[in-house]
Amino acid sequence: MFVFRTGILGGRVDISVTVNGEPTSHDVEARRLLVHYLREDVGLTGTNIGCDTSSCGACTVHLNGESVKSCTLLAVQADGQDVTTIEGLAPSSDELHPMQEAFRQEHGLQCGYCTPGMVMAAVSLLDENAKPTELEVRQGLEGNLCRCTGYHNIVKAVLAASGQPVKD
Amino acid sequence: MGSHSAAPLPYGGRLIEALKLGATPMSMTGSILGNAVRRKEDPGLLRGTNEFYADLKVDGLLHARFIRSTIAHAEITELDISEAESMPGVVAVLTSRNTDLPDNPAPPFIHPSMFRPTFAKDRVRFVGDIVAVVIAETESAGQDAADMIIVDYDPLDTVIDLDTAVADDAPIIWPEHGSNVVFTTEHQFDADVLAGADVVVSERIISQRLAGVPMEPNGCVAVPDGDHMTLWVPSQNPQAVRDGLVGVTSIDAENVRVVAPWVGGGFGPKAGYYAEFGIIAEAAKSLDRAVKWTSTRSEDFLSLAQGRAMVMDVKMGINNDGKIIGMYADILADVGAYGAIGVVLPTATQMMSQAVYDIPGIAFRARAVTTNTTHIAAYRGAGRPEATQMVERILNIAAQAIDMDPAEVRRANFLQPEDFPLVTATGGQYDSGEYEKALDAALEASGYSDLRAEQAERRESNAELQLGIGISAYVEVTAPFGLHTEWGKVEINDDGTANMRVGTSSHGQGHDTAFSMIVSDMLGIDMDNVTLIQSDTDEIPQGAGTMGSRSLQTAGSAVHVASTEILAKAKVLAAHLLEADPDDIVVGDGGLHVAGVPATAMNWADLKAAADDESKRPADMEAGLEHELVFDGEASTFPFGAHVAVVEVDTTTGEVNWLRHVAVDDCGTILNPMLVTGQQHGGIAQGAAQALYEWMRYDEDGNPVTASLMDYLMPSAAEFPMFETSNTETPSPRNPLGAKGIGESGTIGSTPALHNAVVDAVSHLGVSHIDMPVSPLAVWEAVSLASS
């Protein structure tokens, strides 16, 4: 699915990535990770970095509509692709995405550091499974770590965003 | 107290404005207090627009990369930076040999020879000790250059295991001090407190070393501007970072500004000053360019303070009727290579060792021991979880020995409500408590008798999946170590909005929401028109930061008192202008009015203008509508509660399935139940993580073997059930809000409840104890050993 061009490793590459619907182009080191491209070249710092082992999911974004950990991809792998970050999720400056609103209503965030990645993963989860069970939500978010909430209210928020009744 | 007393840390001694307790009752009508108000903090966090330190956009930024010791204890025989210095993009390489920074600040009690050098000099003492730093134009250039630095080590004997560390023939990490024991605290350690008991049980109970793992790793950005230096840092306590910088760097106190922007969690490890901050600030000063250090997660596992790490040899004497006669505890507390706040945490363990019980005799000793490991400091609970785990485990073992239900043995020993306030044998100044009520609530919510019946059935049928029910009853101390005072100020602005300034430093707790609720409730100003100013040493003259579950009861109380004073003054002012009696002036929507006559009103902008206008305010009134104070709660507060954990244990594989967790936590009067419940959830999760999963491990040579999130088992959502939380509310008399802390209660209560539950599931097979984390292997081994 990704087109690898030969001869780029160790050098610099011109890439073009559509980010939140806007075209972006930068000359990047071939070893640059997508998360660094988004944060430092494009300047969208909502996507956070929480580890160096692809364990925590704080950097989760959507690549062509599916959630990926943006620390597991080289920026060049996103060349010509479509990326959505947390900044591109809400429909407007006045209105949150229903998943963001559910996180707010259910108190699904505290420090907010894991939140962008968690929300992006949760949106992707509901895209794949519109009415997940509590267990499916838990297993679906296994790749995203949170230290503040104990996950309780995150699970509630995802269930609420799916339109299912939520008990305390 | 014993050989050393638990002196308050140096936060006390400031100007104290006494508060007459109970003189400022909360507004009773139409109050938003006690309601689940949604957070002001959330929209920006949910959109990814609130900026953490790493998000700040700074021109001309340089990047720092630390070179750390890969050996736990060694002499540095060669340090060659020449090739790294000549690499493209490298601006500077700094070491102890080309800098002259003084040692780092250290806690009370420790020998001066143990202060941590800013750069390791001739010797490294743990894997992660700072040997050098590369400052480069880009992160990748710095990383490439760091790989070219040559360090040769001549390894020394390591000290890792605590029993070995205190043995007579132990290698000594700090020869000038002469012992690996750096601090001892005792209470009647030589007394025979177990004499006369029908039964004496004993156990070695270990609170294993943990890593805090706030999701945002450590780091900082130092930005010079002429002689001035601003350090942006993810800290729980910017004032402490400022003090550290002033002590270590060449930057003058009046030129240092420390700001904590949005901070991605703390949990204790971010409460202190770090050697890295001084190095980065000094580098920025000498290069006259902004420098950024972004710690990686793996680097955090080496360099960020860790927690717990106590080995507790405990005995309890108990009579056959369940009455406790006495408890003996001999504790070794690991403090790591360099003395940090972990040195004094055993004093909290000592203070809380009486727990919720009437224990006639306590013999206690804790020795803080240095080892070749990362330093130990506060981690969610910080000395109190160890006490609770110790008492709640040994009490269960005692109950098992006399064949008494764990709930009944607790009932037989609870301190009773009429006993309060009281001072425990080990110096806990308990304010209020109803321990049996919390336990009753937790037992009822759990359906305790039904659970026991189901357990009996499964035991009877020799089921492969056995049920375990674990109880803990706890009391803890919040705003501990003299941290019960805090500065705060409320000011009405010209446009009728209000600012709150506080010396605490929110990093996820929701202080903006909670404190705004107080001002809004008292002054009738919309919450969105109340602004929290915090975490900036240029804006906040003093403060002790956010730690020890202290913020609402101290800074929240300061906001409350300041609002009370402003209201009193504004009422006199309004009465003067509206030609009414001050007693007839009441708070309305956005201002004050005459009772029963809402049309005869003044909004806060008008009141502020009048207060600033000599021709309008009463002759004897000073200008302005603001009040500042240092709130003094006079002592700590003591939250309490009871937890019941239910687990299913596979007796063949040892796997533990956590089915339910019931928590009844009493944090006094509740301001915002949504925030309280959130703290309970997070606390329960972190306590459970200790019981079942996490362990920061070193091999015998001092190599950390769990130093990444691939190896350190921080749990995900898939490991946890939904939590069943509730509260009793026993107000504290020590502040006008009636509040006690809630940040750490969940952690303190959940660990022993879960630990007890797992042991309970297999106790009928002859198991009386399993070390944490109670992994499948640990359970399987315990069951196998008991049945062989």
B151-197 pLDDT per residue, tens: 999 999 999 999 999 999 999 999 999 999 999 999 999 999 999 99
* Contact list, A150 vs chain B (CB under 8 Å): 681-686, 720, 723, 746
Pairing of strands B597-603, B640-650: unpaired
Same domain, A81 and A102: no
**Whether pLDDT at B719 is above 50:** yes
The answer to whether position A1 is within a domain reads no
> Can you give the pLDDT at residue A10?
59
Domain boundary among A25, A58, A85: A85
Which band of pLDDT confidence, cut at 50, 70 and 90, is reported for residue B31?
A: confident
The answer to whether position A2 is within a domain reads no
B269-307 pLDDT, tens digit per residue, is 999 999 999 999 999 999 999 999 999 999 999 999 999
What SS3 class is residue A98? helix
B362-411 pLDDT, tens digit per residue, is 999 999 999 999 999 999 999 999 999 999 999 999 999 999 999 999 99
The answer to whether position A4 is within a domain reads no
B586-597 pLDDT, tens digit per residue, is 999 999 999 999
CA distances from A167 to A104, A106, A153, B279, B544 (A): 16, 11, 11, 50, 38
Partner A contacted by B339 (CB < 8 A): no
Q: What is the mean pLDDT of residues B665-681?
A: 98
Same domain, A102 and A136: yes
Q: What is the mean pLDDT of residues B508-512?
A: 98
* Contact list, B508 vs chain A (CB under 8 Å): 110-112, 148
Q: Which residue has the tokens 């620390």?
A: A71
* Contact list, A110 vs chain B (CB under 8 Å): 265, 508-510, 678, 682
Cα Rg of chain B, angstroms: 28
Which band of pLDDT confidence, cut at 50, 70 and 90, is reported for residue B13?
A: very low
The answer to whether position A108 is within a domain reads yes
For the record, the structure tokens of B740 come out as: 């006690």
Partner A contacted by B298 (CB < 8 A): yes
The answer to whether position A90 is within a domain reads no
Same domain, A22 and A77: yes
**Whether pLDDT at B3 is above 60:** no
Interface of A with B in 38-67 (CB under 8 A): 39, 43-53, 55-56, 58
Q: Which residues of chain A have pLDDT under 50?
A: 1-9
> Can you give the pLDDT at residue B110?
82
Mean pLDDT, chain B, integer: 94
B409-450 pLDDT, tens digit per residue, is 999 999 999 999 999 999 999 999 999 999 999 999 999 999
Give me the interface pTM, i.e. the ipTM.
0.95
For the record, the structure tokens of B116 come out as: 């941590």
Same domain, A20 and A62: yes
Alpha-carbon gap: A4 to the closest alpha carbon of chain B (Å): 22
For residues B77 and B153, is the Cβ–Cβ distance under 8 A? yes
Interface of A with B in 6-25 (CB under 8 A): none
Domain boundary among A39, A64, A85: A85
Query: What CATH number does residue A77 fall under?
Result: 3.10.20.30
The answer to whether position A167 is within a domain reads no
What SS3 class is residue B369? strand
Same domain, A28 and A75: yes
* Contact list, A31 vs chain B (CB under 8 Å): 140
**Whether pLDDT at B26 is above 70:** no
Query: What CATH number does residue A114 fall under?
Result: 1.10.150.120
The answer to whether position A42 is within a domain reads yes
> Can you give the pLDDT at residue B335?
96
Same domain, A131 and A79: no
Same domain, A78 and A22: yes
Same domain, A104 and A138: yes
When divided into structural domains, chain A yields a total of 2
DSSP lists the bridge partners of residue B536 as B259
Helix axes B673-692, B745-762, angle to 10 degrees: 40
> Can you give the pLDDT at residue B105?
81
The answer to whether position A166 is within a domain reads no
φ, ψ at B42 (rounded to 5°): -70, -40
Q: What is the mean pLDDT of residues B767-777?
A: 97
Query: What is the C-alpha to C-alpha distance for residues B675 and B742, in angstroms, rounded to an integer?
Result: 9
**Whether pLDDT at B533 is above 70:** yes
The residue type at B772: M
Contact A56 B49 (CB under 8 A): no
Contact B51 A45 (CB under 8 A): yes
Residue B139 is inside which H or E element, if any?
Answer: helix B139-146
Q: What is the domain range of residue A70?
A: 12-85
Same domain, A73 and A16: yes
Among residues B165, B180, B74, the alpha carbon closest in space to that of B127 is found at B74
> Can you give the pLDDT at residue B360?
96
**Whether pLDDT at B548 is above 80:** yes
What percentage of residues in chain B have a pLDDT greater than 70? 96
Interface test with A, best of B42, B46, B51 (most A CBs within 10 A): B46
Domain boundary among A53, A85, A117: A85
Same domain, A80 and A105: no
Contact B508 A107 (CB under 8 A): no
Same domain, A79 and A37: yes
Same domain, A74 and A106: no
